[in-house]
Structure 1
Amino acid sequence: MQKTILIVEDEFVIAMDLKVMLERQGWRVLGPVAGVANALRLLEDERPTVALLDVNLGDQLVTLVAEALRSRGVPFAVASAYDKPELVGGAVLAGVPNVGKPTSERNLLEVLAKLSTS
């Protein structure tokens, strides 16, 4: 079964780079989406294997998406330059893997492999 990933990232170039990188590795990408409402709509229709979230989405925080993922049992990571994303996006982000921003392909794939097998 092909693994799916929801990407929530508001910076177009970063989102497209992630999409291409992950598709090249055999992932099916949902999105990428740049906002909370679009991410929540996608989650109504499909349950991804994992998700990768940017903490700041323009003038929104990804908190509601993280809460929706957690309630559905979908593991997720953040891609953030913040050392402690939970201080910005709330307690739902505490202890969540942070692949950093920018991230390396190797680091991202290692984190996603751990998440998708847990």
Structure 2
Amino acid sequence: MMQKTVLIVEDEYLIAMDLQLLLERHGWRVIGPVATVADALALLKIDLPTVALLDVNLGRELVTPVAVALKASRIPFAVATAYASPEQYGGEILAGVPNAGKPTNERRVLAVLDQLLGFYKP
């Protein structure tokens, strides 16, 4: 059985902690969570996750470079954002990716990550 790993990129500490605890309860190994593009890119050099969950807006920066790196590594990702059209903020790379929403809930996050697992091709 494959260990399911998820990179969480979220700049709001409490949301990041809630996501981490929720996902660990459901058998995921969480990479991060991290709050900046630089930290996320550094982690990706060390440990490639199965999937990733990204907040679009990280304080003063957008998560776009992380999405580009994930796509280059063929790692499926979702966003967790209140934006109805994340691509309007984070660029075309975010068009059509699953959105867990913000605020989100347990069922929705787990459903989105299960959807991503369906795209995962080791």
**Segments ≥4 residues shifted beyond 3 Å:** none
Aligned to 2:58: 57
Aligned to 1:83: 84
C-alpha distance in 1 between matches for 2:66 and 2:29 = 19
Tell me the CA shift for residue 85 of structure 1: 0.4
| 1:21-50: CA deviation from partner (whole Å, max 9, x where unpaired) | 000000000000000000000000111000
Gaps of 5+ in 1: none
Is residue 32 of structure 2 the alignment partner of residue 31 of structure 1? yes
Aligned to 2:46: 45
Q: What is the letter of the counterpart of residue 62 of structure 1?
A: V
C-alpha distance in 2 between matches for 1:93 and 1:108 = 17
Aligned to 1:4: 5
Q: What is the letter of the counterpart of residue 47 of structure 1?
A: L
Q: What is the letter of the counterpart of residue 116 of structure 1?
A: L
Aligned to 2:68: 67
C-alpha distance in 2 between matches for 1:100 and 1:114 = 14
C-alpha distance in 1 between matches for 2:93 and 2:118 = 21
Aligned to 2:94: 93
Aligned to 1:116: 117
Q: What is the letter of the counterpart of residue 104 of structure 1?
A: N
Percent same amino acid among aligned pairs?
65
The root-mean-square deviation of aligned C-alpha atoms, in Å, is: 0.5
Tell me the CA shift for residue 116 of structure 1: 1.0
| 1:68-110: CA deviation from partner (whole Å, max 9, x where unpaired) | 0000000000000000000000000000011100111101101
Gaps of 5+ in 2: none
Tell me the CA shift for residue 114 of structure 1: 1.3
Q: What is the letter of the counterpart of residue 55 of structure 1?
A: V
Q: What is the letter of the counterpart of residue 11 of structure 2?
A: D
C-alpha distance in 2 between matches for 1:111 and 1:78 = 9
C-alpha distance in 2 between matches for 1:13 and 1:114 = 25
TM-score normalised by the chain length of structure 2: 0.95
